[in-house]
Amino acid sequence: MRYVIIGNSAAGISCAENLRKLHPSSRITIVSDENERAYSRCLISRFVDGRLKKEGLYFKPKSFYRDYGIEILLGHKIIEIEREKSRLLYENSQEISYDKLLIATGSRAFRPDIEGLDLEGVHEFHSMNDAENIVSRLKEVSQLQTVASYKESLL
């Protein structure tokens, strides 16, 4: 049996972990468009404000997928589900077949149609990538503020 799970969140990895216990010889694959192993979206604010290191966001250790015999395809966005052929298509015309499919993709950030959302420094705040972009921007802002404060002190 070949199980494929789209989504590498708490739901996806919990399902994979339990499938492995119930079906030790089945193939289990998790596909995610993110490049990170499963992490807590609820805690990314603590990463941004410095209360938590990145490693503290992950649900499972790095060895989880290997230890459970789970194939993980990170950074692969599914572009089509062909139910009649039991296969998924992703970038570059690559495909993966399945016997059973679970879609555990969770939510997406909603970006309202508001003027100014396309300006530099305006970020979504939903994923690890978003959080890392904000942290990077905060470092730039802190440096700019420090330079501005220094220049003011010279006047």
Domain ranges of the chain: 2-103
pLDDT at 91: 84
pLDDT tens digits for range 27-70: 999 999 999 999 998 899 999 988 999 999 999 999 999 999 99
pLDDT in tens, 78-99: 999 999 999 999 987 899 999 9
pLDDT of residue 143: 58
What is the SS3 assignment for 136?
Answer: helix
* pLDDT score recorded for residue 150: 47
Superfamily of domain 2-103: FAD/NAD(P)-binding domain (3.50.50.60)
What are the structure tokens assigned to 53, written together?
Answer: 């290191």
- Range with the largest mean pLDDT of 73-82, 115-124, 129-138: 73-82
Percent of the chain at pLDDT > 70 equals 90
Query: Average pLDDT over the chain, rounded to whole?
Result: 88
- Residues ≥6 apart with Cβ < 8 Å to 136: none
Q: Which amino acid is at 31?
A: V
**Tally: H helices and E strands in the chain:** 4, 7
Tokens of 71: 């194939």
User: What is the rounded CA–CA span in Å between residue 91 and residue 100?
Assistant: 21
**What b-and-e string marks burial along 130-142, b requiring 16 or more CB atoms within 10 Å of the CB?**
bbeebeeeeeeee
Could you count the other beta carbons within 10 Å of the beta carbon of residue 65? 20
pLDDT at 153 over 80: no
Tell me, yes or no, if the pTM score tops 0.75: yes
pLDDT at site 146: 53
Cβ-based neighbours of 151, under 8 Å, separated by 6 or more: none
> Helix, strand or coil for residue 117?
coil
Tokens 């404060």 found at: 149
Q: Is the pLDDT of residue 144 over 60?
A: no
